[in-house]
Amino acid sequence: MRWYLCASEHQLEHLPDDADGVVVPYPGLGVATLLPRYPSESEAERMIREAADRGLRVQALADFTCSGCEHLSASGHGTFRSTLEYLAHDLEVDGLVVADPYAVELAAGLDVTVVVSHTAAVDTPEKAWYFDRLGADVITVDPSLNEDESTVDAVRERVSARLRAAVNAVTWRDPVAYFERNLRSHLTRRGESPSPYKNDPYGPLRRRRVVRGVREELFDEVLIILGGEPP
């Protein structure tokens, strides 16, 4: 199965013909995946509805790696849960792509496909088993494993979840990815995009380790992050 991560209506309009489904970033929950652009909440909702109308399967991306524990606080927990329920029950997405272990556990009770994002840095059988036990239906491994047959086979032996590869994605082994993802998680939650002139201190430090290859036969699904600077 082939998924494409669409960050704009322009990308959705020009989606490759081999797409089985799309993953749409939902910034109101925080998005840690490194993209050139993030949609607003209203644009994301339009994209979700349009993709569904076209007969595509749709998953919402909320793979924050840091929320300042807001989703665990007495005041923020209800809002976080309500937003997940809104995506699952009102917008009727097929799945939720998350990274935080608590988000995985919460999503598992919403009758949607629960997908662990590559931002969770799953690169060992032990990590995969942990998320599998929490209720993940699909686990996206760290892109460093995209062509690592022995490790992928070892992961598959430990879990019942389907395995997904992310293409054109940054591995956690990138020197600043971990910190930059935390920053992006906070900015996208507020509907902002990092600017090198304002709030992107990691820009000058980037040493991008983008993984573009994959041995598709090792995986049940592939997620392709569309590149370029969407209009």
| Domains contained in the chain, CATH given | 2-225 (3.20.20.70)
* Largest separation between any pair of C-alpha atoms in the chain: 47
- Cα 158 to chain centroid distance, Å, stands at 22
The answer for residues whose C-beta is within 8 angstroms of residue 154's C-beta and 6 or more apart is 125
Along the 231 residues of the chain, how does pLDDT read in single tens digits? 999 999 999 999 999 999 999 999 998 888 999 888 899 999 999 999 999 999 999 999 999 998 766 666 666 567 888 899 999 999 999 999 999 999 999 999 999 999 999 999 999 999 999 999 999 999 999 999 999 999 999 999 999 999 999 999 999 888 888 888 888 898 888 888 776 556 666 666 666 678 999 999 999 999 999 975 443
Per the CB < 8 A criterion, the answer to whether 37 and 8 are in contact is yes
Which residues of 72-157 form beta strands (DSSP E)? 95-98, 113-116, 138-140
How many Å apart are CA 133 and CA 160, to the nearest integer? 9
